[in-house]
Amino acid sequence: MYLHIHLNDQPVNFGLIHKCCGMLKWYKLDHELPEGDFVQQILVAGKKLCLVKDQGELYAVQNTCPHAGGTLSGGWCKDGHLVCPVHRWSYDLKTGRGAAGQGDYVNRYPVDLRKEGLFIGFEEGWFKSLFS
């Protein structure tokens, strides 16, 4: 059985509900950011991520390459793509998608630069959010 929900005769996009209902848990990054563009490993809530600043924009992605397990924070950026140092597979920083023909992607994490510092968002299941 499937439940189809409509609002004003339009199907409801649960992805939008997820984003608008605050089901992200934000964690403050506890160290200073380098000047200029960079690629570095960070530890947030016990999880190793790759933090990238490319052309003035900040991105947080998983730190392990889905292709061969390389450490993405050991790579570099080229034309808005993060390049893995192992086999040079690349991932679009805006979408997480691998280059044409790769058929893979990296997980991306929301980044919010506030007065208090840089925050990284993690999705939290609705059930867990009831108890946190």
Instruction: For 7-63, give the DSSP string.
Output: ETTEE--HHHHHHHTT-EEEEE--SPPPSSSEEEEEEETTEEEEEEEETTEEEEEES
Provide the whole-model pTM.
Answer: 0.78
Q: Above 70 in pLDDT, residue 10?
A: no
The CATH number covering residue 108 comes to 2.102.10.10
**85 and 75 Cβ atoms separated by less than 8 Å:** yes
Give a yes or no: residue 19 inside a domain: no
Structural domain span for residue 115 = 25-129
pLDDT digits (tens, 9 = 90+) for 22-53: 589 999 998 889 999 999 999 999 999 999 99
